[in-house]
Structure 1
Amino acid sequence: MKGQEWYQTAEVAEEYDTKRFSDGGRLIDEREKEAVLSAVGPVDDKRVLEIACGTGRFTTMLAQRGADIVGLDISPAMLQEGRKKARAAGVDDHLEFMRGDAARLPFPDDHFETVIAMRFFHLADTPASFLAELRRVARKQVVFDTFRRFSTRSIYNWLLPMGSRLYARAEIEELLDGAGLQLAGEEHDFFFPYGLYRQLPDAMATRVRELDDVIMDSPIGEYVASVSYWDARLQEE
């Protein structure tokens, strides 16, 4: 995975949410959570795994909705922040954070109804093998996001210190088929890249988001989106 050493430092973990999801970044956080909830539906008593859970944004949110959820991450510092967030939300007694490698998940086959991987595949050096491992432990569903090739993200990408892997739709379809998954739902959003929103104060970011929504609601929206949310299900035999 790209950027593993950077990602695991305590300094990055402590500032992660503030730098990415405050001010204009709040709009990204809200949209990503909306996309996850739309894909997974009701989660009460559903066994869920989130890989690369980071500070537990989605893990805690789904635990609050009744999911039986495990958040797995390679960074102890990120997991510590996740535990703080779960305690603050009052759900630390019915979720689990654990350290682990997404390439070798420590769970048996078909162990979870749903597996979630947000903000993961843009850093995956071998996406096919990672997706196959997610599918192995999923009994029904794998939900993940990717950054889109041929979008404003490709212009912004070179500015990032780690870079990001970008995907065309054909690549996603090939990856899903290779992992024994089929596409059940998809959403595409954000003409303007995430990095722009993070640089803007809340009021200005809200105005940019209004313009973004107009573009995304137009006939060209799907084709110029910088982010895609994929809802994949196991292929029927």
Structure 2
Amino acid sequence: MHSSRWQSQLTVARCDYVEAAVARLYGGPALGQEEILIVGCGQGQLCEELARRGAIILGLDDSPLVLEQTQRHARERVLGHVITYLSGQAEALPFASGSFSMVVCLQELAQVRDLRAAIAEMARVLAPGGLLVFEALNGSWPSRLLLSWLGERLPLALGLEGAARPRSLIRPRELAFLLTAYGLQPAEIAGLPPGGPTNGGFLWSLCRLTRLHYLGYAVRLPASQQGSPLRSEPRRRASQGSKRTG
């Protein structure tokens, strides 16, 4: 029960952040105006919460079995008319370039096999001026130490569905470098650690502490404002983990 409440509170905090990013970029509520692509939708908690807030959702996941269960749950919650689920991978999105004004990837970056390809694909399907909201596990030594110590409990506590061991850890400045290289202008990076305890869970609030994991958003630049293609990365590269366990 406590785990369920924990996850529910974290989902609400994530969706609050998405709404805040939309308000900052567009100057007001805009969740219901455009279809939002959710990359790595998993069991659909994020999709359903955003749909309840007025968004039209297209959820993408690479597990047909999970998608079948997720679709059934959305229909049971009478959300099937505003949520569509599709099978696909973050590294090869099945959409034309510039198809979306908003892409959200809050649980998937730590699980992708090729982080660079996933970022390139999300940038590609965004229209100029479009918004990418992301979440990542930091590649800092405190994050690696906690991951080594806690194992699968750390990703699960952060609401990272599926894998017990994340594949990709990346520091905020390294992720900002990749975003910029693929035509995205980073606008904000913030930490989201648990705060004080509540009845059966914890409060989640934004802060400047990003050593463990962090959220942020970036804006797709017009082609005329984009830099040169990616040639090199910072000295400390994104860490690609071994095969998923569990």
Q: Same fold (TM over 0.5)?
A: yes
- Greater share of residues in helix: 1
RMSD: 2.7
Q: Residues 29, 224 of structure 1: CA spacing in aligned structure 2 closer, same or farther, 3 A cutoff?
A: same
**Cα deviations by residue, 1:64-97 (Å, 9 ceiling, x for unpaired):** 3333321111111221232133223322023211
1:180-195 map, 5 Å: 180-190=183-193
**Cα deviations by residue, 1:92-142 (Å, 9 ceiling, x for unpaired):** 023211111222211111111101111111122321111010111111111
- Measured in 2, the distance between the counterparts of 1:60 and 1:25 equals 13
Q: Structure 1 length as normaliser, TM-score?
A: 0.74
Q: Structure 2 length as normaliser, TM-score?
A: 0.71
Q: Residues 90, 105 of structure 1: CA spacing in aligned structure 2 closer, same or farther, 3 A cutoff?
A: same
1:29-178 map, 5 Å: 29-41=11-23, 42-139=30-127, 140-150=130-140, 152-158=142-148, 159-160=151-152, 161-178=164-181
- Measured in 2, the distance between the counterparts of 1:101 and 1:204 equals 35
Consecutive unaligned residues in structure 1, runs of 5 or more:
1-17
1:217-236 map, 5 Å: 222-223=208-209, 225-236=211-222
Q: 179, 182, 190: which one pairs with 2:182?
A: 179
Query: How many pairs does the alignment contain?
Result: 202
Consecutive unaligned residues in structure 2, runs of 5 or more:
24-29, 153-163, 226-246
- Measured in 2, the distance between the counterparts of 1:27 and 1:225 equals 21
SS in 2 for 1:54: coil
- Measured in 2, the distance between the counterparts of 1:204 and 1:45 equals 35
- Measured in 1, the distance between the counterparts of 2:101 and 2:146 equals 36
**Cα deviations by residue, 1:126-179 (Å, 9 ceiling, x for unpaired):** 211110101111111111101123364322212134245322122111111111
- Cα contact 2:115–2:168 (8 A) shared by 1: no
Identical counterparts, % of pairs: 22
Q: Residues 205, 60 of structure 1: CA spacing in aligned structure 2 closer, same or farther, 3 A cutoff?
A: closer
